[in-house]
Structure formats: C-alpha cells, structure tokens
C-alpha cells in the first residue's frame, strides 16, 4: 500500500454511492481516514462498513450540503473526531435532462444549482479556514466534460458544471502561493445513478450508445490528481479532442459533438466498446434513496 495518504483525513460529499462511494473506498485503500457525507443514512452505513473492512477508520455524518447548519455540523464533527481535514472531495450533486424549451427547464437549473454548486460552495467555505490554519489542504471539485462543452438536452446540467469550473478556477487563483491545491475532475458519462430516471430517448444523442466510465476509474483519477497536484483531469483522454475543438471554434466543437452521436465514430475512438449507460445501470440494484 502506498503510504502517501496514510492517516490523512478525507471528507467526501455524496459518499453514499456512485463516484463518491468509489472515491471513499479508493482513499481508504490508500490508508486514509474518511468522513462520509450524504443524505442517505442506510447507504452511508454500508459504505462505512466497507471502509472499516479495508482497515481504515470512517466517520459517517448524514448531511444535506445545501443546509448551512448541516454543513457546519459536518465539518465540526470531522475536526472533533480527527483534529484536521486534509482533502475535501466535493462530489454531491444531481443532474436533469431536458430541452431548453421544456417548462421544467428553469426549475431544473435552480435545483441543480442548489445541489451541485451552492452545496459545493457551502462546504468549501466551511473547510477553507481549516486549511488556512493548517497551512495545507487539497480540494477536489467534481465537474463533467459538460463543464467545458455543453451537449443538447443537458443544458441545465451544463450550466451548473460550467459554473463549477469557474468557481474552481477562481478559487485556485485565490489560494495560490501556499500549500492549498484545487483540482477539477471532468469525467464523461459515468455509470452512476445520476441519470437513472431519464429515458434512453431523452439522453443527449452522444450518450445513447457510449460505454460509460466506471466510478472506480474516476476514483483512481481523483486519488492521482490529489497525489500529483493536478489542476484539471479530463476522462477519458479522448474527450480532450472535443474540448480542444471547442477551444478553437464553437463550430468545430459542435461538429465533434454531432460526430460523437454516430456509433461508428465513438467505436473508433474507443468510447463505445461495450454496454451502454442504460444497459449498465439496469444491472445495478435500484438505490433505496437518491444519492445525496
């Protein structure tokens, strides 16, 4: 076992399933002590058990990250138990699918902003003073490829993921000059429950035949980003082609997005090599509660 994270304290939000659970387990395998936050008490308890089975210590604090009092209690509980926090992984969030003309679009934006952005800001603002006092710390913010390039039917989610990018870039510059680091992770479609309720026909066209990333692959990237101090990580690497095209010209970015809606193209790029998102999720048991 690598000892880099031995006895480091890692706080993970949205830790009850999906990427958050995988991140918590990945850090536990590295010897870290975990603070687990999410809304689902039962699912958090299961993650805590798996971490203890790995020989690491864990503290479970059921938390709604949109509640200022709840987040204050979470951070206080972490410090009271472990005396410090070394890594914050802001993973809690939701995603909604729908066209801009949908009557629900504005409400989808509001809900996603509250859960995925303002919750992130809330937790970060509570943890930053601790990092300042310690003189060190690492913040990992989970965004999405759509935090750099939006896809059709996923506008509400892309709006918020772009905001996460802006928040992270601003924060990184504000803490520059010390030993507080900020990383942003940009995964493509991942096999989590984020879009379980969306019908396959409602998905952005490129997503309908893509093979999703595994939460474990994203978790490994998170651990590596913290260890190496990476500022940005895009998964899979082939997704950088889309972002590079978008940086040159929106026309090029849109053309690449359209091309990715064609199965032969995504297969050629290695992004369609097995089960689709809905085929993968159908093999997973439905969660008792929505991820928090």
- The rounded distance, in Å, linking the Cα atoms of 152 and 145 is 13
Phi, psi (deg, nearest 5) at residue 186: -120, 75
Active-site entry in 4, 157, 186, 277: 157
Q: How many CA atoms lie within 13 A of 170 on its CB side?
A: 8
DSSP bridge partners of 235 = 187
Residue count (the chain) = 292
Q: How many CA atoms lie within 13 A of 274 on its CB side?
A: 8
Strand 180-187 relative to strand 9-13, pairing: unpaired
Quickly tell me which residue has 């989590």 as its tokens.
192
Does 157 participate in catalysis according to the annotation? yes
- The rounded distance, in Å, linking the Cα atoms of 16 and 43 is 5
243 C-beta neighbours (distance < 10 Å), count? 17
C-alpha torsion angle, residues 155, 158, 160, 161 (rounded to 10) = 170
- The rounded distance, in Å, linking the Cα atoms of 203 and 212 is 13
- The rounded distance, in Å, linking the Cα atoms of 1 and 4 is 9
Per the structure block, which two tokens stand in for 106?
Answer: 């504005």
Whether cis (ω within 30° of 0) applies to the bond prior to 236 is yes
- Residue in 250, 246, 152 with CA at minimum distance from that of residue 205: 152
10 C-beta neighbours (distance < 10 Å), count? 31
Query: Catalytic residues, which ones?
Result: 157
């Amino acid at each position: 076992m690598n000892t880099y994270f031995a006895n480091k304290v890692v706080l993970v939000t949205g830790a009850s399933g999906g990427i958050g659970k995988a991140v918590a387990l990945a850090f536990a395998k590295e010897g870290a002590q975990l603070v687990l936050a999410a809304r689902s008490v039962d699912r958090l308890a299961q993650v805590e058990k798996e971490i203890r089975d790995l020989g690491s210590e864990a503290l479970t604090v059921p938390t709604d990250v949109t509640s200022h009092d709840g987040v204050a209690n979470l951070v206080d509980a972490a410090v009271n138990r472990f005396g410090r926090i070394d890594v914050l992984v802001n993973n809690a969030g939701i995603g909604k699918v729908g066209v801009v003309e949908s009557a629900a679009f504005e409400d989808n934006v509001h809900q996603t902003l509250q859960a995925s952005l303002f919750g992130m800001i809330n937790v970060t603002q509570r943890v930053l003073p601790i990092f300042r006092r310690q003189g060190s710390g690492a913040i990992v913010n989970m965004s999405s490829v759509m935090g750099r390039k939006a896809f059709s039917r996923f506008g509400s989610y892309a709006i918020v993921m772009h905001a996460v990018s802006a928040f992270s870039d601003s924060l990184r510059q504000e803490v520059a000059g010390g030993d507080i680091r900020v990383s942003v992770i940009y995964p493509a479609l991942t096999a989590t429950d984020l879009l379980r309720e969306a019908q396959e026909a409602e998905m952005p066209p490129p997503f309908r035949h893509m093979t999703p990333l595994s939460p474990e692959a994203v978790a490994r990237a998170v651990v590596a980003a913290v260890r190496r101090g990476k500022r940005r990580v895009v998964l899979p690497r082939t997704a950088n082609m889309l972002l590079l095209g978008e940086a040159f010209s929106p026309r090029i970015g849109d053309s690449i997005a359209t091309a990715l809606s064609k199965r032969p193209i995504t297969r050629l790029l290695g992004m369609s090599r097995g089960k689709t998102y809905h085929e993968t999720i159908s093999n997973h048991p439905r969660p008792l509660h929505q991820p928090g």
